[in-house]
Amino acid sequence: MAKLRFHIRYPEERIPDPILYQIGKEYEVITSIRRADVRETTGWLDVEFTGDADEVDRAIEALRQKGCIVDPIELNVVE
């Protein structure tokens, strides 16, 4: 079982959508939100995904397909 942490940003037009709920239904992953800030024009979540590593990868790819931007929890580490 892998535990992986991500920073997920929602595009403005997808803020009302229950995207994380949908991902939890569609993939065998457990999502645990640790911090979040969702407003009218912006939204982000810090989330831990638990599951088979390949399944987490698929869930992350699906988030991207839905228009989310998914980064490691550290954000940009290339300096």
Q: What is the DSSP string of the chain?
A: -EEEEEEEEE-GGGTTS-HHHHHHHHSS-EEEEEEEEE-SS-EEEEEEEEE-HHHHHHHHHHHHHTT-EEEETT-----
Looking at the Cβ atoms of 18 and 34, the one nearer to another protein is 34
Q: Least CB distance from residue 32 to another protein, whole Å? A: 10
Least distance to another protein from the beta carbon of 70, Å? Answer: 9
Binding site for another protein (CB under 8 A): 5, 9, 34-35, 37, 42, 46, 48, 69, 71-79
